[in-house]
Amino acid sequence: MAAHRSPPALGSATIATIAREVGVSAATVSKVLNGRSDVAAGTRARVEASLERHRYRRRARRPTGPGQIDLVFHEFGSDWALEIIRGVETVAAAEQVNLVLSQLGGARRPPPSWLERVIARRPLGIVLVMCNLTEPQRQQLRRQAVPVVVVDTDSASAASVPTVGSNNWNGGLIATRHLLELGHRRIAIISGPPDVWCARARTAGFRGAHEEFAVPVDPDLVRTGNFHLDAGYQQGMELLAAPNRPTAVFAGSDLQAMGVLRAARQLGLDVPADLSVVGYDNLPLSAWSGPALTTVNQPLRDMAGAATKMLFDLVRGVALPTSRIDLVAELVVRESTGPPRRP
Amino acid sequence: MAAHRSPPALGSATIATIAREVGVSAATVSKVLNGRSDVAAGTRARVEASLERHRYRRRARRPTGPGQIDLVFHEFGSDWALEIIRGVETVAAAEQVNLVLSQLGGARRPPPSWLERVIARRPLGIVLVMCNLTEPQRQQLRRQAVPVVVVDTDSASAASVPTVGSNNWNGGLIATRHLLELGHRRIAIISGPPDVWCARARTAGFRGAHEEFAVPVDPDLVRTGNFHLDAGYQQGMELLAAPNRPTAVFAGSDLQAMGVLRAARQLGLDVPADLSVVGYDNLPLSAWSGPALTTVNQPLRDMAGAATKMLFDLVRGVALPTSRIDLVAELVVRESTGPPRRP
């Protein structure tokens, strides 16, 4: 009986091995491998268990000829997405590999239909942005020898997936420290959605800088947004119209910062004389806003490029020295910050 | 002899027909069809002539399964490119077809290597932006039954290629008419590069509005740029620092308009009290600049969507009612324009 035989070396199993062990046809094993839905649930479970036991993998391929990689966004958000597309495209073009672009309409996990379509094409690899896979999806792709990397703008990915990110906590820290060093003591933060990790990390950095300077944080000044212009504007209007308004705002993203600039203009506040504003991301446009934004450079293009290089290493079977790289976030001081007015 | 036989119906020729007629192997005809370089020039010319004589076409396919379309930019320029990507992606996703994205590093014609790679993959169709094909490239793709459409931001495409554009002349006219109606008489234009047709068309519209109002155009106030921020800033600084400066600038693009806003700020000019500024494109950010830009809405996302729908009609063999559609450019009045100061 199969169970009594000593198992073959891990990873050396073929479809025939699996079919024999489970007692189904090779065609059935193929269907399971290809994510097809026309296999009975019980059979599928037995085949999957056998595939995992043997660590079944399709043979990896070299990126020759018109290969493709997939770049998957949870959604396209402004300039921000374009910076990442540019970073990935540059590396893919140098490898003479095509770039297949898609977005999940805001979802954080690709739907089952997505995986079926991907497996039918079998790209060389996949770059994910602001989204991730379920463990079964990851297993499926592993068996197909389709490596996955994550451009993690979110500080949220499981360590098991090779990831390039940037240090959001540090970014929040240096942005806030800059304002504290200028003499600000009432500093607001408008961070991203509370369920997004990078937003939490930046807020934690904001608190860290306050601790460093022994300045208490007023809970009224800690706000959240959606990283877009409208949230910066709305929170900015609330914060700046209040009687005890802050003298500085760390806006959590360049787009939110532009929303705050708009609120300040509408209320007749001069930036930076009446209000200092710090953004995050250093989008190309941030140098051109009125006034030019002081911001934290999140090296999106470099992050995307580094993740794509990682992906090609995986495609070639090169072992990665580490499964996570964080690039450095740096402060870029422009015109939107200055010392507070003397009271 | 072949030449004495009556020719088969146009478009019904097979590779075997062509090979017989020219007196070469079917493999040689295939090589020519696939754009391979290992065929003698004389042989290639005879095969190509025969293919054209017979109007040889591969059979068209329906977009089933994981088909792909290609989206090719001459380069990715800011938010502008992302609007087009969004328009194409929405239609492709609805068709369950993948989007392969590439850019030509600024070139206006794809290199020969590009065509080889495309033919090897044989996408359902191709959307071109700010670039076009040579006639031989077009023939090659026609034979492969790979249709091509152009998103024409440039008003420059040959009528023979199905195209979606917008009326740039009209856009230049309504932008300038708005300024003349406000009472401006010294109006500058910063258009795009002189060899780009849409820039010429917008300038012609600018002149048309002046004629309508019987206001002469000062040649010193007619400038060109590159559609990017830096050109708007440099030309803006020159125009606004001059003794007889204009009271309004039609900036030719939103990015150039933001550059002009920056120059105005630096020179201490208030917009719109001292200077009116009109952009072009209506990028998402233009509503959020300081002050919010009056601009001409170029419906980039809709243009890209309409072109992609056209492409899927061609893929399905649906005849197009017209080979060129121009969408309407509309004026969006915001805060950056107003009447000139009384002298």
ipTM of this model?
0.74
* The pLDDT of residue B174: 96
* The pLDDT of residue B255: 93
Compute how many other C-beta atoms are within 10 angstroms of the C-beta atom of residue A120.
Answer: 12
- Predicted confidence (pLDDT) at residue A315 exceeds the cutoff of 80: yes
To probe the interface with A, which of B288, B289, B293, B335 has the most A CB atoms within 10 Å? B288
High-pLDDT (> 90) share of chain A, %: 51
Q: Which of A58-72, A94-108, A156-170, B143-157 has the lowest mean pLDDT?
A: A58-72
User: Do the domains spanning A68-166+301-327 and A168-298 agree at the CATH topology level?
Assistant: yes
Segment A277-303 shows an average pLDDT of 92
Segment A249-253 shows an average pLDDT of 96
- In the structure, what pLDDT confidence band is assigned to residue A308 with cuts at 50, 70 and 90? very high
Closest CA to A21 of A59, A41, A45, A51: A51
* The pLDDT of residue B343: 65
Parallel/antiparallel/unpaired status of strands B68-73 and B98-103: parallel
Please report the DSSP string for B63-119 in residue order.
--SS-EEEEEES---HHHHHHHHHHHHHHHHHTT-EEEEEE-TT-SS--HHHHHHHH
Q: Residue B161 corresponds to which tokens in the numbers above?
A: 């290629």
Segment A262-289 shows an average pLDDT of 94
* The pLDDT of residue B66: 62
- Predicted confidence (pLDDT) at residue A205 exceeds the cutoff of 60: yes
* The pLDDT of residue B290: 85
* The pLDDT of residue B39: 87
- In the structure, what pLDDT confidence band is assigned to residue A157 with cuts at 50, 70 and 90? low
Residues 277-336 of A with CB under 8 A from B: 284-285, 288-292
Domain A68-166+301-327 has CATH 3.40.50.2300: yes
- Predicted confidence (pLDDT) at residue A167 exceeds the cutoff of 50: yes
Domain regions of chain A by residue span: 2-53, 68-166+301-327, 168-298
* The pLDDT of residue A66: 62
**What would the CATH number be for the domain defined by B2-53?**
1.10.260.40
Question: B168-298 falls under which CATH superfamily?
Answer: Response regulator (3.40.50.2300)
- In the structure, what pLDDT confidence band is assigned to residue A64 with cuts at 50, 70 and 90? very low
**Regions of chain B with pLDDT less than 50:** 1-5, 7, 62-65
Q: Which of B255, B258, B288 sits opposite A259 (nearest CB)?
A: B288
* The pLDDT of residue A2: 43
Say if B76 is an interface residue toward chain A (CB within 8 Å): yes
Which CATH architecture describes the domain B68-167+301-327? 3-Layer(aba) Sandwich (3.40)
* The pLDDT of residue A1: 40
With beta carbons under 8 A apart, name residues in chain A contacting B259. 288
- Neighbouring residues of B303: CB distance < 8 A, sequence distance ≥ 6: B84, B87, B151, B152, B153, B164, B165, B166, B327
Average pLDDT taken over every residue of chain A? 88
With beta carbons under 8 A apart, name residues in chain B contacting A262. 288, 290, 292
- In the structure, what pLDDT confidence band is assigned to residue A304 with cuts at 50, 70 and 90? very high
User: d(Cα A73, Cα A106) in Å, to the nearest integer?
Assistant: 8
Q: Residue A45 corresponds to which tokens in the numbers above?
A: 């479970």
